[in-house]
Amino acid sequence: MKFGYWVPFFGGWLRNVEDEHMTADWSYVKKLAQQSEELGYDLTLIAELNLNDIQGEEAPSLDAWSTATAIAAVTNRIELMVAVRPTFHSPAPLAKQAASIDHISGGRLTLNVVSSWWQDEAKKYGVHFEQHDDRYARTAEWLHVVGNLWKQDHFSFTGKYYRVEDSILQPKPLSKPRPFLYAGGESEAAKELIASQCDGYVMHGDTPDTIGRRINDLRAHRERLGLPPMKFGVAAYSTVRNSEQESLGLRTLTVREQAISHCYPTALQG
């Protein structure tokens, strides 16, 4: 089982607490990453949003990929699970950028592939926002290009969304056979994509029965494709108090008592 936390890249994640006393600045993120590594956390998820959807669009938020590069340089062990949205990144430059961060981190980079969801943000950043299944079709093509650039040189591809000609990417990522790919989603388009091209399925928290059904569903998709078993992750909020009674009576979380974790139970990996 692995435990991780979400980088508070725009000052916290709670919608019902006005001030979590988290600052959206590099010094705070750096301190948290180093302390989390010292405490034994296994990974950190670096989400990608250009606008702050928690505290308002005009509130500050850090860029995911430059932040991931900086964290890679000041940590030694923790896995860097960086979210990437294909609608915002051309595949070849992103493959190059990811390979470089993988080298900086010593092979600790993993990707959380997100097929976008916030149409207003896309418009404000000049990005074309497609219908749901079209976004997943784009992601599938994007992953094909990125994956091949990580494996081979002189790669060419012409598809509906992307085209590369005789592309070369050096150095290749340190991670073998490539950086680990996570993704989430509950539509059939999402599940088919994840089962066929990704390594881990991540979910929002829910009841054990619901999580169990989702895991079994993805396992069935995966088995039909004849691919190795996936890993599974669940996002959860944890409240920390001196007693169970205090924890049960808590209505809101303060910053220092909030921990957001991704768990990958080994019993659920096969």
Instruction: Give the ranges where the chain is alpha helix by DSSP (H).
Output: 26-39, 64-74, 91-105, 119-124, 132-151, 188-197, 208-224, 244-248
Name the residue ranges covered by the structural domains of the chain.
Answer: 4-268
Please tell me what DSSP assigns to residue 267: G
User: For residue 259, what is the enclosing H or E element?
Assistant: strand 258-263
| pLDDT for the residue numbered 260 | 33
Question: Cis (ω within 30 of 0) for the bond into 171?
Answer: yes
What is the layout of strands, in order, in the sheet containing 200-203?
Answer: 4-6, 43-46, 79-84, 109-113, 181-183, 200-203, 231-239, 258-263
Backbone angles phi, psi at 29, to 5 degrees: -60, -40
Number of helices (H), then strands (E), in the chain: 8, 10
pTM assigned to the model: 0.85
| pLDDT for the residue numbered 250 | 53
167 Ramachandran zone, left/alpha/beta (phi>0; psi -120 to 50): beta
| pLDDT for the residue numbered 267 | 28
| pLDDT for the residue numbered 249 | 62
| pLDDT for the residue numbered 132 | 81
- Residue pair 251/260 in contact by the 8 Å Cβ criterion: no
4-6 and 43-46 strand pairing:
parallel
User: Tens digit of pLDDT for each residue in 92-118?
Assistant: 999 999 999 999 999 999 999 998 778
d(CA 98, CA 194): 20
| pLDDT for the residue numbered 15 | 67
User: And the tokens for 95?
Assistant: 């493959």
Mean pLDDT by 10 residues, the chain (270 residues): 88 72 88 95 93 83 95 97 95 98 98 88 87 89 97 97 97 96 92 95 91 95 94 83 73 36 33
Place of tokens 């039909």: 224
Largest Cα–Cα distance in the chain? 63
| CATH number belonging to the domain at 4-268, selected among 3.20.20.30, 3.40.50.1820, 3.30.70.260, 1.10.10.10 | 3.20.20.30
Closest by CA position to 191, among listed 158, 235, 232:
232
